[in-house]
Every structure is written in C-alpha cells, then in structure tokens.
Chain A
Amino acid sequence: MGFNIYDFSGMTHNMHLWFLERMSPTATTIVEWTIIGVSYMLFVALFGLFLVYAERKVCAAFQQRLGPMRVGYWGLLQTIADFIKLLMKELIMPKSADKFLYNLAPFIVMIATFLAMAVLPFAKGLQTLDFDIGIFYVTAVSSVGVIGILIAGWSSNNKYSLIGAMRSGAQILSYELSVSLSLVTIIILAGSMQLSVVVESQRDAWFIFKGHIPALIAFVIFLIAGTAETNRGPFDLAEAESELTAGFHTEYSGIKFAFFFLAEYINMFIVAAMATTVFLGGWMPLHFGSFESFNVVMDFIPPLVWFFMKVLGVIFLIMWFKWTFPRLRVDQILTLEWKYLLPINLINILLMSLVVLTKFHL
C-alpha cells in the first residue's frame, strides 16, 4: 500500500482504491467511515488515559512528589486500573433527575469533542476532513460541549451541579470570543481558514515567528482563553471542589463520569493541537532561514513526531498554569475577559492587519 511516514496521502489514497476494487462505492464509504470512527475512538480512549497519567505525574512533579508509582513500571498502568474500576461501578441516578437529559448530557459533551477532532491535521495527508472553513468549524463545534455541561447541571436536580453548569456557561461564552479573535489574528496573516493551507504556509517559518509580536500576543491570549474554555487550570470554577463538590458532574458515576473526565482531557488536547496547528506550524519541522544542514536534520524527524512533540509541549504549559495559579473568582474571570483580553485582542488584530498590510512579516 506504499507506507510513507512523511506523507500519508498516498497511503490513504491507495487504501481507498483497494476498497473500491473489491466493493461498491457505498460499501467503501461505510467501511472507511467505520475505520476512521474506530481509530478516533481508540485514539480518544488511549490518549485520554495517557493524559490523565501525564497530568498526575506532572502535578506530582510540580509539588515535589513522585505521583503514582505502584501499578506497573513507574505507575504506567495506574490509569488503566482506574478506568477498569470506573467501568465496573454502578450507574447511580438521582431520584428526581430528568432521566432523558441526564443520560443524554455525557454523549453531547463527547460528541462535541469528536466533532472538533475531525479537522485536526495530524500529519501530511492524515486529516479526516479538510474544510475550507476549518478554523471556523473548530470554534463553532467546540462550543457545543457547553450545552452538554448545562444539560448535565440542569438535569441532575442538584444545586451545586446547577451553579457549576451556570458558571461554566458564562465562562465559556465569554472566552469563546477571545479564542475566536486570537484565531482571527492568525487568519489575517494566513489568508485562509483551511487548516491544511494554514499548516502548509508555515513551511518556511511558523506563524509565531512570522507574525512577530502580534502573533506572540495572540498565542498567549489563545492559551489563556483555551485553558478557560476547557474548564481547567485556574479557571476550573465550574467544578470548584472546595465550593461545589464537583460542579456539573457531581451526580454522575461510573462510565458517564468517565465520559466527562475523558472529554475534558481530550478538549485540552484539542486546544493544544489547535495552538500547535495555528501558531506553532502544525506537523511542520522547525526551519531556520538558511541553515541548510540544520533544516535537513529537522526534516528527518517524521511529521507525526513533530506534531505530538509540540502538542505535548503546549499541554505541559497548560498543566503548568493549572498547578501554579490559584483559582479565580467568578467576577475576576469575567473582568479578565471583558476588560483585559478582549480590548487587547482587538488592538492586536489591528496591529496584525498593519503588519500584513505593510508586509512587515517574514
């Protein structure tokens, strides 16, 4: 089938032809959908578990501890054991909960996560959907998840859940604006919303280097707003343990709770992947203008490795935020968004437009 670790487009094309030879076009489509769906589900389960393990280890390192060490070598099997425990737990439902909505909510959160993952370019040719409005699509579907959170809080018939869900709603609606505007800054520079084009135009220099200071400001704002949008880090007041027990998923147990948990970590991956794709050159290797030999060495590292290296770097940064900063109050969160991030963002867009107009960028 022609497996090439630097370019997957040939492989996927050959696979498509191979299926077409053997079955009807409809059956081919169904088989391909199934393969893609299963691989996404596997990726979400395995990478989610890995992220939970990584979070525990990184958190421990920030607090001068070791983290899980007993299950498996350096605790590697810890999250798998936790997951098996969650699978075997009883699904408890509050007596006066709204049964339909209560059961629906975890799936909405999970579906939003899967939808957002569909457009991420993992490597050259390794992208499920390549819309010409890719970035717009990600910002649109990533805000569907908040509906699931609101439904979960509402249907649980628990005041803590409801308060957590409402806080989460107010927070995500506000920070959606900052995420979109910081992406708009880069769209101005890239001239396209198609993610493959965005990655391709970073071949000579990543946008964070290309766009000078405006791109750097946009990157920082994107990281802050993205952290807030995943209900993480210093912005986790939707599930503030000390105030709301666990926030919107207080009443959930077993696999439904695992869905929320997994969705939260995969959302962090999506934010990191978007930051990587839009600001840090996606799967493109690091290139410095005219250092030919350096560029060749960098080219030798496969795109998948580049992508995941950058994503894990951004995830480490997000975890660094979480384990350093204290949680913000509700009014502080809204002040930060509406009084600081939004005006800075608007001025930043103006600056970026000037940079692009005067062709000041690299």
Chain B
Amino acid sequence: MNALFQYISTVFKGVGTLLTGMKITGKYVFTPWNNVTQQYPENRDTLKMFDRFRGEVIMTHNENNEHLCTGCGICEINCPNGSIEIISKMELTEEGKKKRAIDQHIYHLGMCTLCNLCIKACPTGAIVMGQNFEHAVWDRSKLTKVLNQPGSKIAQGVKE
C-alpha cells in the first residue's frame, strides 16, 4: 500500500515539476518585449550596450584634458597577455622634486581578451571599460592605441 502511495505521489510530483518548467518558459514566450535579440545594423543609432559590457580599455579624461593615471605600471604587470605597455617619464613637480608620470599608455586591442584584470588592479581608477564594440579596421596597426590623449597631464591631487 505504501508503494502505491509512493507511485501516485511520484506521478503528481513529476507533473508538478513539468508544469513549473512550462511556467518559466511560458513567461518568456508571453513577454516578447523582454527579448534580448538586437536588430544590429538597423538599430545602430539607438543601440545601447549593457553597463557590464566590455568593449575596450579606455582612459577617462576630464574637460581640462586631465587623467588619473600615475604611470605606476600595475596594469601592465597584471595583464596576462601583455596587451599593455607603460612608457613613463620623469617630471619636475612645483616643489622642484622629480616625479614619475605617464608618457604613453600603449594598449594593444588586438591582443586584449577583455578580462578586466587591469581595471580591477588600477589603484586610481584611471582606466575603465568602454562600450564601443565596432573595432573592425583595415590595418592591424590601428589596433595599437595610445590611451592618454596628447598633451594631457595628471589631475591635481592624485596620489600613487
């Protein structure tokens, strides 16, 4: 008798779990406005990527052409496949002391796996992930970028 009850409860449990699954997929099919597909070339003007999307590494500059990079090279050390090269230079501060600063932050997009380790490692938050995803170029050399803009300098008060 116990076996019979077990059998019947198996049947009902089985049907119940199947209905749970159908409820979940049914929710998907009846809310088509939640679809994730993007009609890409058509909606190029309105397409907005998700915040979590990693397109490329960029360095943020404020309106005075100032960035936050101190040239410490931690991102270069953390990069697993050597996509980042830091070329630093020595600058004289206002007090007349010598201080290291960034000369060129070279970023090889063609080698980058967008793993996000450099951004996590950056002590000053100078580099972030950009949202641009249209990286196709005719020449491979165009994938090597200098992230700090020409003539830019470090913002006031950024410490290593």
Contact = CB atoms under 8 A, between A and B. Distances in A.
Interface string B17-45: 01001101110110010111101000000
A69 B39 contact: yes
Interface in A307-350: 320-321, 323-325, 340, 344
B135 to A, nearest CB: 24
Contacts of B29: 58, 61-62, 320
Given A58-B29, A64-B28, A340-B11, A325 B21 contact: yes
A320 B24 CA distance: 11
Contacts of B37: 60, 64-66
Contacts of A325: 18, 21
A69 B26 CA distance: 22
A63 B39 contact: no
A64 B21 contact: no
Interface string B113-141: 00000000000000000000000000000
Contact of A61 (B11, B21, B22, B28): B28
A104 B18 CA distance: 39
Nearest to B14: A340
Contacts of A65: 35-37
Interface string A36-77: 000000000000000000000010111111100100000000
Given A324-B21, A325-B18, A344-B11, A64 B34 contact: yes
B28 A63 contact: yes
B25 A66 contact: no
A66 B42 CA distance: 14
Interface residues of B, number: 16
B11 A323 contact: no
Given A323-B25, A325-B21, A64 B11 contact: no
A320 B36 contact: no
Nearest to B34: A64
Contact of A320 (B11, B22, B35, B39): B22
A203 to B, nearest CB: 32
Nearest to A320: B22
Contacts of A58: 29
A154 B68 CA distance: 71
A66 B11 contact: no
Contacts of A340: 11, 14
Nearest to A326: B21
A299 to B, nearest CB: 30
B100 to A, nearest CB: 50
A63 B35 CA distance: 8
A64 B18 contact: no
Contacts of B21: 324-325
Given A58-B29, A340-B11, A344-B11, A64 B35 contact: yes
Contact of A66 (B22, B26, B28, B35): B35
Contacts of B14: 340
Contacts of B11: 340, 344
Contact of B36 (A62, A64, A321): A64
B28 A62 contact: yes
A112 to B, nearest CB: 30
A323 B11 CA distance: 22
Indicate the member of A60, A66, A324 with the most B CB atoms within 10 Å.
Answer: A324
A63 B29 CA distance: 8
A325 B32 CA distance: 20
A302 to B, nearest CB: 28
Interface of A: 58, 60-66, 69, 320-321, 323-325, 340, 344
Interface of B: 11, 14, 18, 21-22, 24-26, 28-29, 32, 34-37, 39
Task: List the 4 shortest-distance A-B pairs measured between CB atoms, nearest first.
Answer: A66-B37, A324-B25, A61-B29, A65-B37
14 contacts: A64-B28, A64-B34, A64-B37, A65-B35, A66-B35, A66-B37, A69-B39, A320-B26, A323-B25, A324-B18, A324-B21, A324-B24, A340-B14, A344-B11
Given A62-B29, A64-B37, 6 more contacts: A58-B29, A61-B28, A64-B28, A65-B35, A324-B22, A340-B14
